[in-house]
Amino acid sequence: MAPFGPPSYLADMIALRAAAIAALLLVSSCTQPASEPAQPQPDPTVNRLQIQTPDEIDVEEPPPPPPPEDQPTTGADQIAANNPTDAKAMTDQPADQPKTLETATFAGGCFWCIEAVLDRLEGVVDVESGYMGGNIDNPTYKQICTGTTNHAEVVQCKFDPSLVSFEQLVGYFFVMHDPTTLNRQGNDFGTQYRSAIFYHSDAQRQTAEAIIKKIQPKFDDRIVTEVTQASKFWPAEGYHQDYWEKNPSDRYCNAFIPSKLKKLGLER
């Protein structure tokens, strides 16, 4: 038997350490919230993107289709045609009636960061982190992090279109993340971190596509944001909801979220 010497021992140790480092790098972007990512980098969108404010995006949303000829456009119009007194009663209803809300769903890296921005926008009344666009039902965060389910980390919000338009939300979306990095935002990489707009109507699809066409010249690289019809939304685990509000000292969040809020003028 050949004697056990230092050269063989050192070679084995170096090989083992290299393998361990490679494994750690592979899973670093999918750690549970209790774990802190290694050496977070500054938000890459702050100085890189040429769009500095959502106001630079001014694409008008498509108008609604016209109503059929000789047909009242709303229930109130129908009542007015038959009974003007009842129509007046409808218009005199209290102003604090429940408002019609719309839904928007965005993916652009870690959902903690997207949620923190959308939650501060006037007109956004509810935000929820979750998963969309995958091939299994009721996925877990652990499954998402494998990158094999094809889900994206998304934030779905309910908003009042009389206070904030879908176009404005898309404007904030393109300023808060880098839409030119495929399946990656900063330290987070994998298909679950892809850039995507999941539309809930044809009007939302047209608006998203028009905005991408308008802003593409402002970027050196091609915008890779998907514009995909919304599918089943799966809410994320409870500890992901309002994550930054509940964990204001989290190192990962503080490496990215404050710079986004400052850039967008949403600091409190």
CATH assignment of 40-58+99-264, among 2.102.10.10, 3.30.1060.10, 3.40.190.10, 1.10.3720.10: 3.30.1060.10
pLDDT at 267: 85
Examine the pLDDT at 82 and tell me if it is beyond 60.
Answer: no
**Chain mean pLDDT for the chain:** 79
The tens digit of pLDDT for each residue in 2-41 reads 454 445 544 454 454 544 444 444 444 444 444 444 445 5
pTM comes to 0.69
Q: Which residues are catalytic?
A: 110
Among residues of the chain, what percentage have pLDDT more than 70?
63
Local confidence band at 240 (pLDDT 50, 70, 90 cut-offs): very high
pLDDT at 184: 96
pLDDT at 187: 86
Q: Where are the domains of the chain?
A: 40-58+99-264
The tens digit of pLDDT for each residue in 96-109 reads 556 799 999 999 99
73-88 burial, b for 16+ CB within 10 Å, e for fewer? eeeeeebbeeeeeebe
For residue 134, which amino acid is it?
Answer: G
Local confidence band at 55 (pLDDT 50, 70, 90 cut-offs): low
